[in-house]
Amino acid sequence: MATRTSLQSIKLPPRSSVPEGWQGLARTSLFGVLIVLLFILWPLAELYVLIKVAEAIGVLYAVLLLLVSWPVGTWALRSQGRAAWQRLSAAVAAGRSPGREVLDGALVVVGGFLLIVPGFISDLVGLLALFPPTRALLRRQLARHLQSRLVVGATRFTRGGMPYDVDSTATDLDQPQLHG
């Protein structure tokens, strides 16, 4: 009984400033706000850049540039995607880990998709993802981010909703008698 009394007197510090049941909601709502802002701010930024480019070079040339980026993005997606697939196959055949090739392939897909989507900002980001030197920089940053998230996820022992046994509600069970 002394053990039970001493365990009940232990006060654990709070795990977070967010209440227990609201931790997942806080993460989800923050992510949701970021997504909504992205879907609102990105088109507004694209429209602003389109207006500025049209003022600088003319409306017809601005629209032509937007129309040309679609077939260029399709061609880049096919050619760079095929090359990334061949590098992936070669890495697997050689018995190497294909992590670099997988990230390259993902960046090629994102870059090609961004070139197909109309807009000058998306075209610039798409070209950066497709151009090999900048793709290497993006790949390194992406690998670091994914590695740090993997380490954090692997070392987390409990998820948000796992309660502590503060009241020490454990009970002793009788040991079964050995029949001899």
The position carrying tokens 């890495």 is 91
Give 174's DSSP letter: P
Please check the confidence at residue 39 and state whether its pLDDT lies above 90: no
Q: Which residue has the higher pLDDT, 157 or 146?
A: 146
- pLDDT bracket for residue 48 (50, 70, 90): very high
**What token pair was written down for 163?**
């309660």
**What token pair was written down for 128?**
């950066």
H-helix segments, the chain: 2-8, 23-57, 59-93, 99-116, 120-130, 132-155
* The one-letter amino acid at 34: L
Average pLDDT over residues 155-180: 61
* The one-letter amino acid at 162: M
**pTM, to two decimals:** 0.62
Q: How far apart are CA 4 and CA 11, in angstroms?
A: 14
What b-and-e string marks burial along 40-76, b requiring 16 or more CB atoms within 10 Å of the CB? Answer: eeeeeebeebbeebeeeeeeeebeeebeebeebbeeb
Q: How far apart are CA 8 and CA 21, in angstroms?
A: 23
Q: Select the highest-mean-pLDDT range: 19-28, 51-60, 86-95, 166-175.
A: 51-60
What was the pLDDT predicted at 54? 95
Q: Is 138 within 8 Å of 99 (Cβ atoms)?
A: no
Compute φ and ψ for 145, nearest 5 degrees. -65, -45
Q: How far apart are CA 101 and CA 143, in angstroms?
A: 11
Residues 6+ apart with CB under 8 A from 121: 42, 45, 46, 49
- Could you tell me the sign of the dihedral formed by the alpha carbons of 41, 44, 48, 50, in that order? positive
* The one-letter amino acid at 45: A
Q: How far apart are CA 180 and CA 174, in angstroms?
A: 18
What was the pLDDT predicted at 59? 94
93-152, pLDDT tens digit by residue?
A: 998 888 888 888 889 989 989 999 989 999 999 999 988 899 989 999 888 887 777 766
